[in-house]
Structure 1
Amino acid sequence: MEASATEITVGEPSKITTEPPPPARKPVIEMSVEELVAKAIVPVKKEFMCPAPTRVGSDNNGLSSDDRPAATTASAPVSKEKKSKRQIKRERNQEKQSTRNLCPMVAKTGRVDSCSYGDKCRLSHDIEAFKVQKPADLEGTCPFDSDEAPCPYGLACRYLGTHRTDFATGIINEQKNSEVNGLKKDVQKLLWKNKMTFVKADAKLKALGLMGPAKSKKMLEADNTEENQTVLNDSLVTKENSCGEMGVCPIVQNDCCAENVEDINADDPRPMKRGKPLNDETSDSIGESNGEDHIETDESLKLHPRERKLIDFRDKLYLAPLTTVGNLPFRRVCKVLGADITCGEMAMCTNLLQGQAAEWALLRRHVSENMFGVQICGTFPDTVARAAELIERECTVDFIDINMGCPIDLVVNKGAGSALLSKPMRMKNVIHAVSSTVDLPVTIKARTSYYEGRSRIDSVIGDIWEWGASAVTIHGRSRQQRYTKQADWEYVYQCTRKTPDTLQVIGNGDIFSFSDWKKHKSDCPQLSSCMIARGALVKPWIFTEIKEQRDWDISSGERLNILKDYVRFGLQHWGSDTKGVETTRHFLLEWLSYTYRYVPVGLLEVVPQRLNSRPPAYFGRDDLETLMASESAADWIKISEMLLGKVPDGFSFSPKHKSNAFDKAENG
């Protein structure tokens, strides 16, 4: 019988080779400052380092969970059962009808009869049952209650015991709203029904040849209708008919019968809803849509970027648009600490045009934001141009920024964000369409390229001004890099020197101290400014450091006061009822998942700290500083409980962001 491959022949020496064990990793506490810097570990003074030895199963820094203080082991996220949309809707309706959801009008006035819907109201009117299950009041004072007006949340407020105004017997005055750019109900309904008109955008898109076939046919029908209305202009007036609708009717007719409407707009199968008088703006748009070349030429010269209102970004501290964490309360914190320019979170154009309230909430602006822009993201020129026109019409903003750098798969797979860098012609059409449609300054934010070394931004940087953009922000990484490796500032300088003087270039990437800011400005004086993104998330007082030209050794108490300001701003934005408190807590925890990376200046061997260096396990100068250094979600929850009270039963939290995601499969 032949021996199998696994059998050993008698008399032959066994050839068993063993690989030497891997060398033991040197504990972080025993590394020199140079070794720590080389391994991208923050060099903390030895007396503050955790003395625990390194164990197997450590993370990228050579630190295992056992190397950190006992309270800093990260908790595993709790997996939730996936529910169907029908089940979610059913649970939402049941939640509305429960005693936990008191009708807002009843809560505000303390009277059951104050609700105009009466018994048809879907929310609870049982005040006593609501009081029984309501959580205990939180410590502190109500962020709304004042001598001028009572708290708008009334009985539902978690600071009810501190209210100074008796809302049940006093006169209910409206709170002075310090936020603007809210979505109006009538606008939302038009967007829901797809009946919103975009006169300027559609006219410009047609003039630029960017209308699709179906939309071009629709525009042709509208042109024929407008020609008929122009011919009959002397015998038409705009009046409110007996149906309560605004429409264009002949003077000789005194009613709004369907025949008259059909005679005027016979080719359009949809009923006429609300017409507008033919003012100068409408006449210009009609002239363009009818193919009058001389009007198109005049308009294009009028809207040339050289004659457009510009914003001076030079030497101003610009807070980047930050998804999830860059909300309005966070921007208010940064304004207090010295930020000059703020920008809202990235809003998807398709969601804005559908009237989604959650997307429109990203456009809200606080009165303290004296220079504020909104960032929009879309794939096609028509979608982005219509969204820009709608924003200019309904919102108060200083500029519109077009996102061409978002690396998220959900955005890139739709052809938006950084995917536009691989399509220069579409990139041109998007910028040209938006800048021709709105009178606001248009800026763009882009990465160096989509893939490393291909479709780089320097190949089109010289044309961006001619396309209509007033400024461009260059993040010194490709989409392929995500947030790994250092930002390529030399490439940013190269692009800046290639641009015309009229186009402002803003650099972005890894700014974490005033020395970083100063270095980039001195290395390339042509840079208008530097955008601050993740650095502001980790330490928002970076704006104070830059303006005062110092490294601020901020204490744990001062950091806690900043968190208190954020909580107060959050309650004013999301509400002081239970829902508002928990929403504020959620976004506070998202922010704390960044702030733990900060190492106080007084603990550093080398100042300043680098943004991409990871902090080792260390103890702070007091218990609060040690708690703030924890990478555990459980400890972040403890900090939130110091500010917002106990979390509800069954509460769990897992951070949303993955700042160092680098997927090999999608990078080609």
Structure 2
Amino acid sequence: MAEGTAAAPLENGGGGDSGVGALERGVAPIKPQYLTTKEQFHQFLEAKGQEKPCRETELDIRGKLYLAPLTTCGNLPFRRICKRFGADVTCGEMAVCTNLLQGQMSEWALLKRHQCEDIFGVQLEGAFPDTMTKCAELLSRTVEVDFVDINVGCPIDLVYKKGGGCALMNRSTKFQQIVRGMNQVLDVPLTVKIRTGVQERVNLAHRLLPELRDWGVALVTLHGRSREQRYTKLADWQYIEECVKAASPMPLFGNGDILSFEDANRAMQTGVAGIMIARGALLKPWLFTEIKEQRHWDISSSERLDILRDFTNYGLEHWGSDTQGVEKTRRFLLEWLSFLCRYVPVGLLERLPQRINERPPYYLGRDYLETLMASQKAADWIRISEMLLGPVPPNFAFLPKHKANAYK
């Protein structure tokens, strides 16, 4: 499924499967050499008669609209939709570094870039300096990206309990080793996404940001909630504003609860270098257009169905148009519909704008399709998918991942 998979690692012990051939055959490549210290890196370059890679480009995305790396929903077809509506910066879904190093095809597929993604990065998750550095070294030689992001914001137990994601905010030594190690082997800027902290009332970001700047991070995105809060509280933009000063002169992007151009304007007033949009893009990918044109778009149900049709076409192009590709496209469409149903049409709102934390009561749309799109029932999402992809297979069932992984 993955295209543009790994080339041969830096140092193989001679013989055996490695690189492209190994990955194409689904064989784990031989482990590349660890380059975890500055001395090791320079020794390697000296042995090869090379100079340390020069970063010819800096990451200058101030004022741009950044689509968050969204696990499951932030796939390539969805990113194409968001690019059409004005997203400036896109990032692949979180990829687990150990899975990449093992040559897992499904993980390498997450790094694929579409030609419309002119400013594109990939996001890595890992807990240990050696594997993260090794993975960064491999990526620097195999994929064309504009930046690499470290996920230090993931709150789910599976990642946190292994020491990755948010847990790195409490593991300063490991965090520093990861950042410094990756920086030495990458020839593109390194960015980091963090939360306010782990516990609800213990903010850590303001203390970490000056250190991240000193470690060589090019840009940080701060999600204005702690791990403990998840989505039970609104994002703390007042704290994000405080953190802008702590990060300076390193650019800080803010993230959390942006669903209208008014929300975006208020966010920019905090002094952030730019904004990252996550759930807001899932509820209405045309949000990027609304922000750039400073207006509310009363989009019709037929226009929304056209967007879904484009997504399915992109999906069939990306995952294949055989039975497996159709059902994969359907699954990802249904995941997106489980968010899209929360959107309330502008023409039906009593007041503007809609707030991201407000769950509307059941309502009738202005036509049958608009009512169907507002349904919170999976059976209705499946009906929408059948309009675009034909009947579902026998005994088909669907539960959104965000429901299955619900926190408490």
Establish whether residue 542 from structure 1 lines up as the match of residue 287 from structure 2. Answer: yes
Return the letter of the residue paired with 2:202: R
Q: Is the 8 A contact 2:224 2:255 kept in 1?
A: yes
CA 1:364–1:507: 2 relative to 1, 3 Å = same
Equivalent-residue separation in structure 2 for 1:279 and 1:604 (angstroms): 61
The equivalent of 2:38 in structure 1 is 204
Instruction: Using the TM superposition, give the Cα deviation of residue 284 of structure 1 relative to its aligned residue in structure 2, in angstroms.
Output: 6.1
Equivalent-residue separation in structure 1 for 2:313 and 2:305 (angstroms): 12
Q: Is the 8 A contact 1:349 1:384 kept in 2?
A: yes
Equivalent-residue separation in structure 2 for 1:657 and 1:395 (angstroms): 29
- Secondary structure in structure 1 of the residue aligned to 2:149: strand
Q: Is the 8 A contact 1:181 1:365 kept in 2?
A: no
Establish whether residue 583 from structure 1 lines up as the match of residue 328 from structure 2. Answer: yes
1:518 to 265, 269, 280: 265
Q: Is the 8 A contact 1:553 1:602 kept in 2?
A: yes
Equivalent-residue separation in structure 2 for 1:191 and 1:520 (angstroms): 45
Q: Is the 8 A contact 1:436 1:468 kept in 2?
A: no
The equivalent of 1:639 in structure 2 is 384
The equivalent of 1:331 in structure 2 is 79
Deviation digits for residues 161-212 of structure 1, max 9, x if unmatched? xxxxxxxxxxxxxxxxxx963456425279945524236x34537579xxxx
Return the letter of the residue paired with 1:472: V
Instruction: Using the TM superposition, give the Cα deviation of residue 468 of structure 1 relative to its aligned residue in structure 2, in angstroms.
Output: 1.3
Return the letter of the residue paired with 2:353: P
- Secondary structure in structure 1 of the residue aligned to 2:93: strand
CA 1:552–1:506: 2 relative to 1, 3 Å = same
> What do you get for the CA RMSD once the two structures are aligned?
2.4
CA 1:380–1:604: 2 relative to 1, 3 Å = same
Establish whether residue 564 from structure 1 lines up as the match of residue 302 from structure 2. Answer: no
1:471 to 183, 197, 219: 219
- Secondary structure in structure 2 of the residue aligned to 1:567: helix
Q: Is the 8 A contact 1:476 1:488 kept in 2?
A: yes
CA 1:372–1:335: 2 relative to 1, 3 Å = same
- Secondary structure in structure 1 of the residue aligned to 2:386: helix
Deviation digits for residues 410-450 of structure 1, max 9, x if unmatched? 00010000000111121111111111111110000000001
2:4 to 160, 173, 181: 181
The equivalent of 1:484 in structure 2 is 232
Q: Is the 8 A contact 2:261 2:294 kept in 1?
A: yes
Equivalent-residue separation in structure 2 for 1:425 and 1:459 (angstroms): 14
CA 1:408–1:560: 2 relative to 1, 3 Å = same
Equivalent-residue separation in structure 1 for 2:78 and 2:377 (angstroms): 22
| Residue segments in structure 2 that go unaligned for 5+ positions in a row | 7-18
Establish whether residue 453 from structure 1 lines up as the match of residue 192 from structure 2. Answer: no
The equivalent of 2:368 in structure 1 is 623
- Secondary structure in structure 1 of the residue aligned to 2:403: coil
The count of aligned residue pairs is 396
Return the letter of the residue paired with 1:621: R
CA 1:319–1:659: 2 relative to 1, 3 Å = farther
Equivalent-residue separation in structure 2 for 1:182 and 1:341 (angstroms): 23
The equivalent of 2:103 in structure 1 is 355
Q: Is the 8 A contact 1:204 1:437 kept in 2?
A: no
Q: TM-score, normalised by structure 1?
A: 0.57
CA 1:423–1:280: 2 relative to 1, 3 Å = closer
- Secondary structure in structure 2 of the residue aligned to 1:658: helix
Percent of residue pairs bearing the same amino acid type = 53
Equivalent-residue separation in structure 1 for 2:230 and 2:156 (angstroms): 9
Equivalent-residue separation in structure 2 for 1:466 and 1:281 (angstroms): 29
Return the letter of the residue paired with 2:256: G
Equivalent-residue separation in structure 1 for 2:404 and 2:57 (angstroms): 36
Equivalent-residue separation in structure 1 for 2:202 and 2:40 (angstroms): 32
CA 1:322–1:551: 2 relative to 1, 3 Å = same
Give the greater-gyration-radius structure (CA): 1
| Residue segments in structure 1 that go unaligned for 5+ positions in a row | 1-178, 209-222, 224-277, 286-298, 664-668
Instruction: Using the TM superposition, give the Cα deviation of residue 281 of structure 1 relative to its aligned residue in structure 2, in angstroms.
Output: 6.3
CA 1:363–1:615: 2 relative to 1, 3 Å = same
- Secondary structure in structure 1 of the residue aligned to 2:402: coil
Q: Is the 8 A contact 1:342 1:371 kept in 2?
A: yes
Establish whether residue 282 from structure 1 lines up as the match of residue 48 from structure 2. Answer: yes
Instruction: Using the TM superposition, give the Cα deviation of residue 467 of structure 1 relative to its aligned residue in structure 2, in angstroms.
Output: 0.4
Q: Is the 8 A contact 2:334 2:382 kept in 1?
A: yes
Q: Is the 8 A contact 2:29 2:103 kept in 1?
A: no
Matching of residues 271-420 of structure 1 within 5 Å: 282-283=48-49, 309-420=57-168
Equivalent-residue separation in structure 2 for 1:280 and 1:575 (angstroms): 45
Return the letter of the residue paired with 1:542: L
- Secondary structure in structure 2 of the residue aligned to 1:657: helix
Equivalent-residue separation in structure 2 for 1:319 and 1:497 (angstroms): 24
Return the letter of the residue paired with 2:138: L
Establish whether residue 529 from structure 1 lines up as the match of residue 352 from structure 2. Answer: no
The equivalent of 1:156 in structure 2 is none
Equivalent-residue separation in structure 1 for 2:407 and 2:40 (angstroms): 41
Deviation digits for residues 196-246 of structure 1, max 9, x if unmatched? 4236x34537579xxxxxxxxxxxxxx9xxxxxxxxxxxxxxxxxxxxxxx
Return the letter of the residue paired with 2:23: Q
Return the letter of the residue paired with 1:505: L
Deviation digits for residues 57-107 of structure 1, max 9, x if unmatched? xxxxxxxxxxxxxxxxxxxxxxxxxxxxxxxxxxxxxxxxxxxxxxxxxxx
Matching of residues 220-259 of structure 1 within 5 Å: none
Instruction: Using the TM superposition, give the Cα deviation of residue 599 of structure 1 relative to its aligned residue in structure 2, in angstroms.
Output: 0.3
Instruction: Using the TM superposition, give the Cα deviation of residue 496 of structure 1 relative to its aligned residue in structure 2, in angstroms.
Output: 0.6
- Secondary structure in structure 2 of the residue aligned to 1:365: coil
Equivalent-residue separation in structure 2 for 1:469 and 1:191 (angstroms): 34
The equivalent of 1:504 in structure 2 is 251
Return the letter of the residue paired with 1:508: N
CA 1:202–1:520: 2 relative to 1, 3 Å = closer
CA 1:535–1:356: 2 relative to 1, 3 Å = same
CA 1:576–1:397: 2 relative to 1, 3 Å = same
The equivalent of 2:14 in structure 1 is none
Equivalent-residue separation in structure 2 for 1:281 and 1:621 (angstroms): 70
Instruction: Using the TM superposition, give the Cα deviation of residue 658 of structure 1 relative to its aligned residue in structure 2, in angstroms.
Output: 3.3
- Secondary structure in structure 2 of the residue aligned to 1:498: helix
Equivalent-residue separation in structure 2 for 1:326 and 1:205 (angstroms): 38
Structure number with the bigger relative contact order (C-alpha 8 A, sep ≥ 6) is 1
Equivalent-residue separation in structure 2 for 1:412 and 1:647 (angstroms): 36
CA 1:642–1:281: 2 relative to 1, 3 Å = farther
- Secondary structure in structure 2 of the residue aligned to 1:322: coil
Q: Is the 8 A contact 1:484 1:662 kept in 2?
A: no
Return the letter of the residue paired with 1:567: T
2:30 to 187, 192, 195: 195
Q: Is the 8 A contact 2:68 2:277 kept in 1?
A: yes
Q: Is the 8 A contact 2:152 2:192 kept in 1?
A: yes
Equivalent-residue separation in structure 2 for 1:336 and 1:180 (angstroms): 23
Equivalent-residue separation in structure 1 for 2:309 and 2:169 (angstroms): 41
Equivalent-residue separation in structure 2 for 1:191 and 1:318 (angstroms): 33
Instruction: Using the TM superposition, give the Cα deviation of residue 342 of structure 1 relative to its aligned residue in structure 2, in angstroms.
Output: 0.4
Equivalent-residue separation in structure 2 for 1:466 and 1:190 (angstroms): 42
